């Protein structure tokens, strides 16, 4: 979960370099309850990892560099 679209796009681009993610992550806008303004939205960078190769702690630290955090399903 990231604070804005710019941060989400940067994270999505850097995932391949940092973690070897080959599939392009999906960006999803998550509007806050009752808000329609884009300024009041957070962004999810959806990464599929069915094999469990990615370290959740490392992903959380990476997201924190962009003022974000790891959302667990």
Domain residue ranges in the chain: 5-64
Question: Two tokens at 60?
Answer: 């959380």
d(CA 24, CA 41): 21
Tell me which residue of 29, 64, 33, 58 sits closest to 46, measured CA to CA. Answer: 29
pLDDT in tens, 6-20: 999 999 999 999 999
d(CA 68, CA 73): 16
pLDDT in tens, 16-71: 999 999 899 999 998 765 555 555 689 999 998 988 999 999 999 999 999 999 98
Residue holding tokens 């509007």?
Answer: 31
């Amino acid at each position: 979960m990231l604070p804005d679209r710019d941060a989400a796009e940067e994270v999505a681009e850097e995932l391949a370099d940092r973690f070897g993610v080959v599939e392009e992550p999906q960006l999803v806008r998550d509007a806050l309850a009752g808000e329609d303004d884009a300024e009041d939205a957070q962004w999810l960078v959806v990464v599929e990892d069915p094999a469990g190769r990615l370290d959740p702690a490392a992903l959380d630290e990476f997201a924190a560099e962009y003022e974000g955090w790891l959302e667990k399903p």
